[in-house]
Structures are given as C-alpha cells and as structure tokens.
Structure 1
Amino acid sequence: MSGWLGESILTEWDVIIVGAGSAGCVLAGRLAEAGQGSILVIEAGPRDLSPWVHLPIGYGKTFYHRRINWMYRTTPQAELGGREIYQPRGKVVGGSSAINAMVYARGQAEDFDEWKRLGNPGWGWAEVLAAYKRMEDHALGASLWHGAGGPLHVENVAAEVHPLTPLFVRAAGEAGLRFNPDLNGATSEGAGFYQITTRGGRRESAARAFLHPARRRERVKLETGMQVTRILFDGRRAVGVEAQRGGETLRFGARREVVLSGGAFNSPQLLQLSGIGPAELLKQHGITPLLDQPAVGRNLQDHLCYDHVYRSKRPSLNDALLSWPARIGMAANYLLRRRGPLSLSVNQGGGFYRTKPELTRPDMQLYFSPLSYERAEPGVRALMKPDPFPGFSLSVSPCRPLSRGHVAIRSPDPLVAPEIAPNYLSEPEDLRILLEGARFLHRLAATPTLSAVIDAAIRPGPEAVNDAANVAAIRANAYSVFHPCGTCRMGPDASDAVVDATLRVHGIERLRVVDASIFPTIPSGNINAPAMMVGERASELMAAG
C-alpha cells in the first residue's frame, strides 16, 4: 500500500467491488465460492428488504421509487420531440435486477461472435453459452441450450400467463411468426412466452441468487448506503476507494484489485471523477487528468420501445387488478401457492422477428402485456391501478440500434447525476426500422384472432393510417426500454475502448470494469441476463489471474 495513504485506510480487502448490481453480485458470489480472498462490496442504495423488490408485480412500485431507484433522465432528445426520457436504475442491493421486469433473454449467438470478431477473445458464443449454462437453474432442465443446478433460477411461465397472452401468440402466427416454445433455445426467432428470473414465485435478483448465499458463508462483506466518490491510486495503480456515508468520508484499501460494477451510467461517471476520461471534460470540472481516455462515457447504446395500446372486448389483467374480490383471490393464491398474476412479469409474451425476409437473423423484439395503464401519471407504471377498462399493449423494440450517445459528468460533485445523452434516432436507419415495427403492430392487430378481441385502438388511435402519422406517433411516444450499455466498451485499442478482453482498464493497473458498460455492441434483447453473464465471465478471468 502506498505510503501517502498512510493510516487513513479503514480496512483492507483483496478485492473491492463498487456496486451490488446484476454483474457485481454475480462476481462477488462466484469469487467467494472459489475462495478468492476477502471481498468488500459497496452499494450506494439500501439492502433489498422492501417487499416490493421480492414480489414480481412489485415492479410497478419500484419503477418510480426514489429510495431504491436512481430515477435518471436523459437530456432533451431532439428526435423524440425534445422529450427527456426516463432512465430507472436500481439503487438497491441487486441493482436493476431487483427492480426490472425480469425477462430473461440471453441475446443471439451472432451478438457475441461479433464481440469476438471485434478483438475480444473469450467472448464468442461458445464461451458465453458455457457461462450462461453454469449460471442457470433452468425450469426446462439441462440441455444443449440450458443449465440446471446453477445459482440463478429461470422460470418457464407458459402455463401461468393471462388468457389473452396465448391469443397474442396465435395472432403472431397469423401474422407470419412461427411459435417458439423456447426463446432462449436454438434460436430466439418466433413468438412465444418469455422466461423470467423468479424462484418459487419470488423475484430472483442477482443478489438473491449469488450475493446472499456468499454472505451467509461469511466470505463477503456488504456495505450499503455508501457511495463511492473516487478511486484511489498510487501512480496509475488502483489501490482502493474513497466513499461517503452519512456525511463521513471513508477509505478502503484493495490489495489485489478494484472492480467497478456501477452500470452504464455510474461506472464511467466514477472513472471520470477519478481522473480517467476525456481530458478536456475533466479539466472543465477542475479534475486533474490521470489518464486522458476519450472513450470513457462514449458509445452509449440503448433499446427504444414503441407501444400500441388497445381496449379489449375480453377481460384483461386490468379487470383482475381493479376488482377487490379478484385482488383478494390473487393475494390468496400467491400467499398459499406463490402462483398467479402476482408471481409474473408484465411482459408475458413476445419474441423476435426479421423486418425483412432477406435478413440473416431477427432485428426486432416484440412484447405483449395483458394490461394497460394509459391513465396513470406520466412516468409511473401503476400496475396495481391500471386503466378502468380491459386493455392490453403490443410493443416493438429494434434489437441493434445504430445511434450512439454519451455519459459525462456535469460537476466534480459525485452526488450530481451525470449527463445522459443517448441521441435516440440520430441514425435515420433506426427510425426506418421502428417504422417497420409500427407497420407490423398494425398488421398484428388486424389478424383474425386479435381483431376479434380489440374493441378500440387507444394509442396511437385510428388516425395512424399512414407512415407520416406513424412517425409522428413514434416521435411522441417512443421510450427507453431501459437497456443502457457500452460506455466503457471492451476492445483491444485504447483509443476507442476502455477495457481489454480481461476487463482491465487500458493504461491502469489493478482496475477492472464488470457490468453492461463493457458491451462493445448491444445484445439483441433484454440485457439483464448478459450483464449477469459478464459477472460470471469476470469471475473466471479474475481467478485465472
């Protein structure tokens, strides 16, 4: 330990992990399981004690819960009518895996083979699939595509979904999509029922699956309500972190490594606050650059989502959630059997398809939700207070958007949220693909099965009859599906990448980044599973030295 730190260090650990999120929890649990020395995990948020974290439908409460959610917002987005787009991020043990909609989607094989082609050995589909299988305790059992007996339970809810959801799957078939009984199997293409991260009817966050078992074995120390404000260095070697809690400044030393697992917003923010980032940006805020690294905070990617909402002739989940007798029945079913709507995700059906037949793989994700909440306060997903009529939604989300943005500190004060500028639809191709998605939703709604169920189009409404009207609706209503990544991208060239294939920060010793910020390109689907996979792969890399 560097002499200048002296005795100001409170305690020393072999490894310090900053952030108890999806990847950080997996990494801590796996390192502890392998006996990789003493591990300190520091989380800015509280412990995951809220019942809304563990109740799957509690997603509606945690979506806008300031105590356990960073509740970030983007800069005004020029291509979305100048709107600021909401960006919820978990500020709680478990991170965003504790507040998300729980869809388990691993991405397409080609996503990871592309990572490997970009100069990242060890990150091709063969290695990534092996990591997924080690993690999984899959309800479908062990197979060529799935693991069994791992820490993370993945549930198959096909038999539990709302009666409207199989109608959506049938309609998707009428619109040309084949039924896919396993959207994480040999291919993701087709329509079916999403698998979710629950166990026994309770949310299976990364903390529940990986971190808490390690803590019970007393191999990991967890500090909560403590925000890391900067990384401590001896020259260009990371030797610890400085943090704040309750107005007190604390320092912790790392004998082996410091690992950032703060996610796509907070990991680049902490690097920049610590002097690693674009030199001009750092100087602007009075921070002396330790390493001029322009790639820190660049390459921000995210998935946009666009909905069509309908009034239904048949009962939807709205009816059950608004009826007190039905609520009581659901609560009893959940308490006694851990089953029913309270045990499920809002995203029950969906899949992946190609917007053009000549494409070699799907480029669009599809969602179905058997409820609607158009009358809720903007920004709030009031799942327990949906619209006072039966309704449902159909959604599309392009898998691999081309638009890129950035994350940048606004202040040297670590408590000031960073600037988040995704630049949605800045690439015209992204709008073209989203328009193709809107056309498909109209086609899907016109199928015999769904047209027989739809009473009226609520949003965008019957006036969306041409491309101009659909584009206007997209600009007015598209929103993030909350998959930010790429801001500390992995790659061999330090001029445009932040970490190498072992997740070590270029130009810095004993410092790694382990979270979704390292994705070179965004995976085709929900990113919680890939983020956990990064934690799994990182534990192997760190164990190897």
Structure 2
Amino acid sequence: MITGRINRRRFLQAAAATGFVIAGGIEALADELDAIRANQDKRRASLARVYDYIIVGAGSAGCSLAGTLAKETSARILVVEAGDWDTAPSVQDPRLWFTNLGTERDWGDISVPSASVNNRGIPEHTGRVVGGGSSINATIWSRPFKADLDHWADVSGDPAWNYENGLEIFKRVENWQGKPNAKYRGTGGPVWVQPAADPLPLAMKALDGCREVGLPVVDDLNGDREETGNGFGLMNQIIKDGRRQNMARAFLYPVLAQDNVTLLVNTPVNRVVIEGDRAVGIECIVDGKPVTISADREIVLSAGGFNTPKILMLSGIGDEAGLKAVGIAPIVNSPEVGKNVQDHILHGGCLFEAPEAFEYRNSAANVSGYYKTDSSLELPDVSIVQIELPYASEVIGKKYAPPPTSWALCGGLVAPKSRGTVRLRSNDPTDRPIVDMQFLSHPDDVKALSRSVEIARSIANSKAMKDFVVREVAPGKKLEGEDLIDFVRDGATTYFHSAGACRMGKDNKAVVDSKLRVNGVRNLRIADSTIMPRIVAVPTMPACVLIGQKMAMILKA
C-alpha cells in the first residue's frame, strides 16, 4: 500500500483474508499508511530545493536520527534513501531474512580475495532499503559492552559517549517485553524488543550444553553481561507477532505523515556539494535526473559502512593521492577516510546432522553468547551463534555436503585486530568501491576464531545435545595445527557489520570529532557505523541507533 501497488480497499481485503491483526485495528493502520503515502507523494512531486537538514541514508542510524529530530523539532528534514520501501515479504517475515541477500535490497559488495582467507572473496551484505541493515539482518538486538562505549569516550575525549550515558539512551528507546530490570531495561520506547519467542527444544538444549561445559548462561543477554563480558542466552529480537519491527517502523514511520519530513526513496546520492570550507547541499539522482538540493543547517551522512566513505571521497574528502589517482580534485586531505575498516567474523561452520527435520523459529537463530577466552581481556574475543540451518561457507558446504536436516553452531570473532580499506574504483558514482577487508590477516584473529570453533564443538557434542546430533558433519573431528587453521580460513564469513571507515577521535587524523563533525568541512557530519573507532563486540544495529540518538541530541543542543 505504501508503494502504491495496492489501494486501501485491496489492503483491507488482503488483511482480512490472512487474518492479520494489529493493535488499534487494521483500518487504523490503513489510515496511517494512506496518510504516509499521500504526504510523501505530494512532497516528492513538489520537491523543495532547500531543507534545514539533509540526512543521507535511511538505515538504523538515519532512521533513529530523522525520526527523533522530526518528532522533537519543527525543522524541515529531507531523508534520502538509495533503496526502495521496506515492504517486501522477505523484509517483513524475519524467517526469510537471508533471502534478501544478493537482491536489489543489498548493495552486493564483495571483499577482494586475500591469502588470509585462502584467497576467497567474501560477500559484505549491506542494506539498500528503507531501514537499512535492520530490514535485512537477523533481527538481533544486542547492546554494546561497557568497555566498548567507555573506549569511545576515551578516544573521542568526550565522556558523553560513555556506557552510563549510552545505557540511559537505550533504556529510553526500548520497549522491552521480557523480565523487568530497572537497572538495564526500558519500556515504552519506540524499539520493540523481546526474548526469542517459543524457541525450539534444540535452542534450549544448546543452553544446557553451555552450562555443561562451564559457560555462563544468563536470563537476559542485554543485562550484566554488558559489564562482565560473558554470557550465553536467548537472543533479544526486534520481532513482534512474527513480524520484523525494523528501525524504520520504530522511528521513521511515526513522523512520515508530518509536513516537515520528506523521504525520497530510490534516490542515490552522488556527492556532497562543498563551497569553500562549507557543505551546502547534495547532488542526487531523482527520477533518473541529477538534482542539487541545499541544506541551510547541516548535512548528515548515514549511508553506511562503505557508502559513507565513498560519498566523502567522491566529494573530494579523503586521501589526497588516492583522490587524484581517480581524477578527483582534493578539497580536504583526510587520509584516514576509508581506513580502519572492521567487521565481525562468523565461522560457517561447525555442522551437525539432526535425526529429523524441524521448522525453525523467528529468524532461524535464537541462541548466542559472548566469552572472554582469557579473563584479562577487556572485551570478549569470541561469540557463539546457533543457527537452525546448515549454515556454511561455500568451501565448507562443498567439502562436507551437509544433509538438509543439519544445523550449525558457529564460532565468531567479535574483537578483530585485522583492518581493511575502502577506496574508490573510479570517479563514477555508479561504480561500487573496492572493499579490501583483509579478514584474519592478524594472527591473533586466527587464534581467537580457532578457539571459538572448539567452544562451539564442545557445546554441540555435550551430553545435553545428544538427542539432536546423529553425527558431527563438519569438521567431524578435533582438528589441530594447519588443519584447524585451514578449516578456520575456509569457513570465514562475516556478520555483515562493516564499521570504522570514518573513525571518531580527538586526534587531528580522525575523520570526525566527538560531535561527529567532519574535520575540515563545516556543516557536514557523519552518523553511522563508520564513526566507530573500534567496532563494538556485538551486532551493530543497536549501536547505530545509539549513534543516531546522539546525533539528534547534538543537533538539538
């Protein structure tokens, strides 16, 4: 209905036929969608050429920022999104999340092959749709560790970024549906969060297996593990009544009927227009034609892990030599744009054949955890995720040929030391950038991921899980030495959590300062995962919501 493919009458008929129920009534929802569509059609048809704020990207951070700024101010706000509306069934149904990967809702970047992952090119899926990653990811709501946010506060020189302040923001935006906890959880906010609903016996036995091998199991994965660093349990998920509640639904939809908010979908941004030392507007493609739109106050890039540095470099902000090499005149020499790129590694995988098929629940992943393999570590170095499908890299899948009844217990690397780069392929905005992640290039990353593989195997082979394991499919036995390292390199995939390409810091080499201002340019800021000096040791969606909230607070101040 939002996209105009069906009218209000057809929407109501379809909802009645499927038995779809929503609080407040389906007719109220139809009225809301009608108002949103009418408002946005009108505003696109008479598009203004000047706004107070332009926000590039409607991902988790962009939605968090735009919705909050629009709700709490009367500013004229333009949100520009390269992708389409988030109305596809594969977005709405969390069980289908992985079917979005490689489609038009995904930017489709692939890291260049590197020796550290046995010369494999690894996909880096990022959202090209309203809601961004929160529309195509596995719905996990996992908040940063205390050590994550305190590190940001330290390197930025601004205590406003610390854990205590972040926790208060999370409590304000959450609508937590689990066991009440006044210290850690909030209710009544826009973000619906619930413990994994009606989990399979497989999931609950995995937690028994954790206990059996001495791993700590907690009631809530967004509780004291944020301070201790350790904890395994049922995931927190942004799923309500079996439907995804993405950050567009949480923050952006509630303000789209307002007259001060315009959302342009299917509108890629080529560059930021800079006059002297001031960002004055953007150049974007509206209905196939280049259009320049101005901002009276600020432009905020929330375009995501690879597109934000790409837009900066196309605008003349980046490493001077690299810009000249692709025919772009440098405006600001900022050598660290596109450097410091990080992501979490998800190993695919340790596979186990179940005695019979089962229908997976929620997003097919309901149990996870974090663990410090050395108590002296500041942060956990490994994670474990149970996946109710035979999740495997292309190499592991081909070598071990898991039966369709297989499930995975995947080790993960959440505090990577390897760093990659993003650079321009050319000065053509339609060209995707060159993503060179250099996964597992640091030897400590290989050691940590190897440890996570062994932890995953120990859980799956515990007595608690015997009823769900006919045999261990992959690796099939304990591996050591080069055999283990090869298995780790062959199985490396990612969580799709690209971060760090425009890091925040108090030093003069940082791309942005603690107020998220791009150094060297006035009226230009960044609010997305790229500002992370060090990637948080958890899925990045909640951290991006936090960044969007912080940006809104800064702009309102």
What is the TM-score normalised by the length of structure 1?
A: 0.89
Alignment of structure 1 residues 282-431 onto 2, 5 Å = 282-317=323-358, 320=359, 341=361, 344-359=362-377, 361-372=379-390, 389-431=404-446
Deviation digits for residues 365-406 of structure 1 (CA, Å, limit 9, x no counterpart): 1101122256x98899xxxxx976422111111221111111
SS of 1:118 mapped into structure 2: helix
What is the identity, as a one-letter code, of the residue corresponding to 2:538? G
* Aligned partner (choices 124, 149, 153) of residue 188 of structure 2: 149
Give the structure 2 partner of residue 38 of structure 1: 76
Take 1:52 and 1:308, find their aligned partners in 2: how far apart are those partners? 24
Take 1:91 and 1:262, find their aligned partners in 2: how far apart are those partners? 9
Deviation digits for residues 458-514 of structure 1 (CA, Å, limit 9, x no counterpart): 22233x53232111111111111111100010011232x111101010111000000
Give the structure 2 partner of residue 187 of structure 1: 225
How many residue pairs get aligned? The number is 503
Change (3 A) 1:54 1:487: same
* Aligned partner (choices 90, 99, 109) of residue 61 of structure 1: 99
* Aligned partner (choices 479, 487, 500) of residue 465 of structure 1: 479
RMSD over equivalenced CA pairs, Å = 2.0
SS of 2:410 mapped into structure 1: strand
Q: Is the 8 Å Cα contact of residues 77 and 85 (structure 1) preserved in structure 2?
A: no
Q: How far is 1:134 from its partner?
A: 1.4
What is the identity, as a one-letter code, of the residue corresponding to 1:538? M
Deviation digits for residues 73-102 of structure 1 (CA, Å, limit 9, x no counterpart): 011122001111101111111111100001
SS of 1:365 mapped into structure 2: strand
What is the identity, as a one-letter code, of the residue corresponding to 2:188? G
Aligned identity (percent) is 34
Deviation digits for residues 195-235 of structure 1 (CA, Å, limit 9, x no counterpart): 11123321111111101111023331000111110111121
Alignment of structure 1 residues 133-172 onto 2, 5 Å = 133-140=171-178, 141=180, 143-157=182-196, 159-172=197-210
What is the identity, as a one-letter code, of the residue corresponding to 2:457? H
Matched, 1:504 2:543: no
* Aligned partner (choices 445, 455, 458) of residue 443 of structure 1: 458
SS of 1:216 mapped into structure 2: coil
* Aligned partner (choices 81, 100, 117) of residue 154 of structure 2: 117
* Aligned partner (choices 191, 201, 207) of residue 242 of structure 2: 201
Change (3 A) 1:427 1:453: same
* Aligned partner (choices 93, 103, 106) of residue 140 of structure 2: 103
Take 2:459 and 2:96, find their aligned partners in 1: how far apart are those partners? 30
Take 2:378 and 2:391, find their aligned partners in 1: how far apart are those partners? 36
What is the identity, as a one-letter code, of the residue corresponding to 1:252? I
SS of 2:497 mapped into structure 1: coil
Matched, 1:224 2:265: yes
Q: How far is 1:36 from its partner?
A: 4.4
Alignment of structure 1 residues 490-529 onto 2, 5 Å = 490-495=504-509, 497-529=510-542
Matched, 1:277 2:318: yes
Q: How far is 1:347 from its partner?
A: 1.7
For structure 1, the residue ranges without an aligned partner over 5 or more in a row are 1-8, 322-340, 381-385
Give the structure 2 partner of residue 533 of structure 1: 546
What is the TM-score normalised by the length of structure 2?
A: 0.87
Q: Which has the higher contact order (CA 8 A, sep 6+)?
A: 1
* Aligned partner (choices 490, 494, 497) of residue 480 of structure 1: 494
Change (3 A) 1:176 1:307: farther
Change (3 A) 1:396 1:311: closer
What is the identity, as a one-letter code, of the residue corresponding to 2:368? G
Q: Is the 8 Å Cα contact of residues 36 and 543 (structure 1) preserved in structure 2?
A: no
Give the structure 2 partner of residue 334 of structure 1: none
Take 1:478 and 1:32, find their aligned partners in 2: how far apart are those partners? 41
Give the structure 2 partner of residue 337 of structure 1: none
Give the structure 2 partner of residue 85 of structure 1: 122
